[in-house]
Amino acid sequence: MDWSRKRVVVTGGAGFLGATVVQRLYERGCSEIVVPRSKEYDLRERDGILSLYRATRPEIIIHLAAVVGGIGANRANPGRFFYDNAIMGLQLMELARQFEVAKFTAVGTICAYPKLASIPFKEDELWDGYPEETNAPYGLAKKMMLVQAQAYRAQYGFNAIYLLPVNLYGPRDNFDLNTSHVIPALIRKCLEAKQAGHKEVVLWGDGSPTREFLYVEDAAEGIILATERYEGDLPVNLGTGREIAIRDLAEMIASEVGFTGKIVWDATKPNGQPRRCLDTTRAEECFGFRAQTDFQEGLRRTIDWYQSTHSVAESPTTTAA
Cα 291–chain centre separation? 15
Neighbours of 60 (CB within 10 A): 24
Nearest to 174 by CA among 310, 24, 313: 310
Task: Please answer whether residues 126 and 91 qualify as being in contact, where contact means their C-beta atoms are separated by less than 8 angstroms.
Answer: no
What kind and span of H or E run contains 115?
A: none
Nearest to 167 by CA among 269, 220, 238, 252: 238
Ranges assigned E (strand) in 225-297: 236-238, 244-245, 262-266
User: What is the DSSP track for 43-88?
Assistant: TTSHHHHHHHHHHH--SEEEE-------HHHHHH-HHHHHHHHHHH
Asked if 138 is an active-site residue, the reply is yes
Distances (CA, A) of 155 to 10, 100, 116, 148, 149: 25, 14, 33, 10, 10
Which residue in 113, 138, 162, 306 is the catalytic one? 138
C-alpha distance across the termini of the chain, in Å: 40
Q: 3-class DSSP state for residue 163?
A: strand
- How far from the centroid of its chain's Cα atoms is residue 61's Cα? 17
Sign of the Cα torsion 79, 80, 86, 87 reads positive
Q: What is the dihedral of CA 192, 194, 197, 198, to 10 degrees?
A: 70
The catalytic residue positions are 138
